[in-house]
């Protein structure tokens, strides 16, 4: 079963390298692409880049590589991309895995799933320092996030996409009772999906790569075609 690992905002495919290596050592075919405007595709960034741009990139990858029975994994903002790709190519996907990620409903954007105060901060950052479209990261390193990837609302009306099994992996700081993505995990539970909790920060692919890789393999095995 092939895996496609989708990074989150202000990220790039390189952020998955530890998990990618572990999965490949188990004999899996693994893709961890950078999305347009991010990572090693930073030069493609601009006000034209939105959620559809990112979904198109993954749909094209699946077609180019002639992939079937894909385990599609999204971290953080990458959850929006996972949902968009599932809407477009459900027949190519065996399972969806959301790693501390947005799990949108029809008509929602990433901004719609964030606290209003945080949304206002990001929009101000784009207005003040990013010509209205480029949201710089907190540390100012790496390429900015195109605001269109956060404000474009997603259309989810395909019943075949809704039928794809899923897994949710929530990260939670030690001692915490709630996380920014606890609401998304609750949505996953209502779908009767397995929800795993990792007691670590928002980047388990960096802090707990072996544990995360094991959970992804478990998700793949649960979705083996018969």
pLDDT tens-digit readout, 21-74 = 999 999 999 999 999 999 999 999 899 999 999 999 999 999 999 999 999 999
What CATH number is given to the structural domain containing 49?
3.40.50.1820
Q: Is residue 139 part of a domain?
A: no
CA distance 99 to 160: 22
CA distance 17 to 5: 10
Asked if residues 45 and 38 have their Cβ atoms less than 8 Å apart, the reply is yes
- The pLDDT assigned to 121 comes to 94
Give the HSE-up count for residue 177: Cα atoms under 13 Å, Cβ half-sphere.
0
Q: Is residue 123 part of a domain?
A: no
CA distance 86 to 213: 22
3-state secondary structure of 146: strand
- The pLDDT assigned to 35 comes to 97
Residue 84 lies in domain: 3-106+154-221
**Structural domain tally of the chain?**
1
pTM of the predicted protein model: 0.96
CA distance 213 to 141: 27
Strand partners of residue 97: 73, 167
- The pLDDT assigned to 120 comes to 96
- Which residues in the chain land under pLDDT 50? none
158, two tokens: 């395909």
Q: Is residue 132 part of a domain?
A: no
Q: Is residue 131 part of a domain?
A: no
Q: Is residue 203 part of a domain?
A: yes
Q: Is residue 134 part of a domain?
A: no
- The pLDDT assigned to 225 comes to 62
Nearest to 156 by CA among 88, 92, 71: 88
Q: Vertex 218, ends 13 and 174: CA angle to 5°?
A: 75
């Amino acid at each position: 079963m092939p895996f496609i690992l989708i990074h989150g905002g202000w990220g790039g495919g390189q952020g998955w390298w530890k998990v990618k290596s572990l999965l490949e050592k188990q004999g899996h075919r693994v893709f961890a692409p950078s999305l347009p405007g991010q990572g090693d595709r930073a030069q493609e960034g601009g006000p034209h880049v939105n959620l559809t741009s990112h979904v198109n990139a993954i749909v094209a990858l699946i077609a180019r590589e002639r992939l079937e029975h894909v385990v599609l994994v999204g971290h953080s903002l990458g959850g929006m991309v996972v949902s968009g790709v599932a809407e477009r190519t459900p027949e190519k996907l065996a399972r969806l895995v959301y790693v501390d990620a947005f799990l949108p409903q029809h008509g929602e954007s990433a901004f719609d799933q964030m606290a209003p105060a945080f949304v206002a901060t990001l929009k101000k950052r784009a207005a003040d320092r990013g010509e209205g479209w480029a949201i710089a990261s907190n540390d100012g390193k790496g390429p900015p996030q195109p605001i269109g990837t956060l404000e474009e609302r997603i259309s989810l009306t395909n019943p075949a996409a809704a039928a794809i099994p899923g897994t949710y992996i929530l990260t939670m700081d030690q001692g915490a009772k709630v996380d920014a993505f606890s609401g998304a995990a609750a949505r996953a539970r209502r779908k009767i999906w397995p929800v795993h909790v990792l007691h670590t920060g928002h980047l388990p692919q960096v802090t707990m790569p072996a544990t995360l890789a094991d959970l992804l393999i478990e998700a793949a095995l649960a979705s083996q075609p018969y």
